[in-house]
Amino acid sequence: MQINKRYTILASILAIALITTTAAFSQQEYAEHQLQTSSPYIPHHGKTILIHITSGEADDPHQVHKATMGADHALAWHRSGMNVVIFLDAEGVLIGAEEVPEELSRANGDLIKFLSEGGRVIACSHCVQMHGLTPDDMLPSIEIDTHPTMSRVQDILRSGATVLDY
């Protein structure tokens, strides 16, 4: 009986120590996360994430949603310190134009913020042209990559980037 009491007391002490340590670690981890994500101007590190946005037709709600999600994710991950590049291709170039329909304004706004915070956006030259746009019609700082070689995108892919399609 005496041994069971000792084990019960010892188990209780260990449980309290474990809970206290876990809570302290979680608070420290949360504080570190807040420090890392509280500023939009965090130095970028790690592997590149290439956000490939091919959606952008204003009259298709599914395409508007996909384009907006791609731009939202790119901006959020860029702000958290990840190395993110956006590649606008096919209808995706439409969200990078200076003037966009109301339906594309949120995605376009995220691109503007992304660029103003040092993000990199590349657009396909052929796709820009196919939509009746010129490089001058695109947001300032968007790089135009020459179709079909797409040397800027090739360099990113050669670096081992992870590609996410929207």
Residue 33: predicted pLDDT: 42
Cα–Cα dist 125/62, whole Å: 24
- State phi, psi for 134 to the nearest 5 degrees: -120, 165
Q: Is the confidence at residue 1, as pLDDT, over 90?
A: no
Condensed to tens digits (0 to 9), the pLDDT of residues 46-82 reads: 799 999 999 999 999 999 999 999 999 999 999 999 9
Condensed to tens digits (0 to 9), the pLDDT of residues 14-50 reads: 556 555 554 444 455 544 544 443 334 445 567 999 9
- Whole-structure pTM value: 0.73
For 52, the token pair is 């490939």
DSSP 8-state symbol, 38:
S
- H or E stretch at 64: helix 61-79
Whether a cis peptide bond, with omega within 30° of 0, leads into 148 is yes
